[in-house]
Amino acid sequence: MTEQRVSGPDGVGAVPLATRSEAFSYADARDAQAATARIDSAPNGIVAFVGRCQKGPINEPIAIHSLADYQRVFGGLWEHSTLSFAMEQFFEQGGAHALVVRVVSEGRAPTIDLPAGEERLVLTGLCPGRNEFLRASVDHDGISTQDEDLFNLVVQRVRRRGSELVETQEIFRRVSVLGGSARDITRFLSASKLVRVAGPLPARRPDITHGPDPRALIGYVECNNDGEDGDVLSDYDLIGSQQRRSGIFALEDGPRFNFLCIPAPERNRDLGMSVLVVGARFGRRHHALLLVDPPLAWDSTQVALGAARSWPFHSMDALMFFPRITALNRLSGEQESFAPSAAAVALVVRDDANRAHLWKEAEEPALLRPGAQPALWVDRLQRQQLAQLGVNALRSTRRPTRHEVELCTLAGEAAASADARWLGTRRLQLELCASIERGTRWVSIEGNTPRTRERAARQVEDYLREQAEAGAFAGAERNRHYFVLCDERLNGPAEQTHGVFRLLFGYQSVHAASPLTWLVEHRPASSSTRSVSLNQLAALELS
């Protein structure tokens, strides 16, 4: 059970609730500042999932490390949740680290009616759905007779209706029904993770709660049976709103992730093209790859080969696996077809544990574990043909030959460069960008000064040298195979006036003829990294 004592605005005598991590915070900047001698590689193997769940908080990224974690927070398998099956397959195939964002369309949270004389104090839950089970208890312990407006409130989330298994508990002591007072219950519950006040406050405080058993020390009022799961999600529900931080954009202020998986809302329906476009752009901004399921119409390898050539969505920021997988549906007891992305990305992160660096191929690529099989057979030639189109073929058995088709992005042969086409080199780019952006965030509190620029350049150069010596680039010679620019040419008076800090870095890839370069920008409230062309000024620096 998680117990949280929640304070109101005055912060009197309570433990504050934990808040989710921000994409940019001065705490992060201070941590990076304390270790400016070194940039560590960004975490890898974290997959973000966005979709419908049976229960749990909405539009909030929650770290999940096992199927049991998912079941505890978001419920188990649910026929209306393709995400629940994706999570089961992800962990069964070796995935270990996930972020889950629950999205709801027109759902409703349950309410609790606390008697207050002839009136009611009505509380409403924060998590919509029929599987949100709340209860509350009121007592007047430790409150003097003259404080007639004060009471103590306990709110609990339990495993199921009538259960004594408490999952989360919040305690609010000496709160008041006097609106606008320092201990106004409405203000205190604004910090709750379980409930809010719904409607006007009653004229008198809630009555002491008595249970049906007179021998019980504490009584509880169960929530009403008025929670609603909501409708099937639309593409717009999944995309969400950047301003409200909903849907995909709930990940904006959350922890770092490496892959983004958005299961289609229904198993007989493909994800809309608008979700794919927004998802890939969002992933690029966060140095992550979007997982794309093959369309349902690709029901044979020959059909897939023909359709993939004219399919409108190709991107170096996306990843597709084919075919769909066949696995046991534990709700129906039947072998059924499922989208492959969750199981496939688990194989990718399993491979990460068997190789020293992301850009190197695993000696023995991971295969689907028993319990899941490719729904279609794909021979070696077809695997190569699909790879040319940007599609990776799943396998559950090894071949006698050691030759493997290298994993690729969904850019396919239309990619601007080989680095954008192959998964290993694209992941190297994303890791470098994420590590350098996060590792130099300390400049936001140091200020744009010559000394800060010198320290940042040296820090990035040391990091790139380590990568070069590990074999990430075409060679390990400074200013030939990797470089850093961070001086007044990038940080002029305009940048310094507006609090902008700029840093340019690049490297010579094994595949590309010219250096690949990125511009890192730090602003007071955000950071970003984007690919740029090497301008004439930077070219002179390399000569």
Q: Which of 284, 256, 244 is nearest to 21 (CA)?
A: 256
> Dihedral of the CA atoms 138, 139, 144, 146 (nearest 10)?
40
Q: What is the pLDDT along the chain (543 residues), one digit of tens a residue?
A: 655 544 443 333 333 333 333 444 544 555 555 445 689 988 899 999 999 999 999 999 999 999 999 999 999 999 999 999 999 999 999 999 999 999 999 999 999 999 999 999 999 999 999 999 999 999 999 999 999 999 999 999 999 898 889 999 999 999 999 999 999 999 999 999 999 999 999 999 999 998 777 666 789 999 999 999 999 999 999 999 999 999 999 999 899 999 999 999 999 999 999 999 999 999 999 999 999 999 999 999 999 999 999 999 999 999 999 999 999 999 999 999 999 999 999 999 998 877 777 777 766 677 899 989 999 999 999 999 999 999 999 987 776 555 578 899 999 887 778 888 999 999 999 999 999 999 999 999 888 999 999 999 999 999 999 999 999 999 999 999 999 999 999 999 998 889 999 999 999 998 877 889 999 999 998 999 999 986 544 444 444
Q: Does 493 sit behind a cis peptide bond, omega within 30 degrees of 0 on the bond before it?
A: no
Contact 55, 75 (CB under 8 A): yes
Q: What type of residue sits at position 532?
A: V
Q: Count Cβ atoms within 10 A of the Cβ of residue 277 and give its class: 0-12 exposed, 13-18 middle, 19 or more buried.
A: middle
Q: What type of residue sits at position 472?
A: A
CATH number assigned to the domain covering 35-103+236-423: 3.40.50.11780
- Alpha-carbon span 12 to 104, nearest angstrom: 35
Q: What are the sequence ranges of the domains in the chain? A: 2-16+108-222, 35-103+236-423, 448-542
Helix, strand, coil percentages for the chain (3-state, nearest 5): 25, 25, 50
Q: Which of 429, 353, 358, 435 is nearest to 41 (CA)?
A: 435
- Alpha-carbon span 268 to 79, nearest angstrom: 12
- Alpha-carbon span 307 to 385, nearest angstrom: 12
Contact 55, 131 (CB under 8 A): yes
Distance set, CA 72 to CA 77, 263, 496 (Å): 12, 20, 49
Contact 195, 186 (CB under 8 A): no
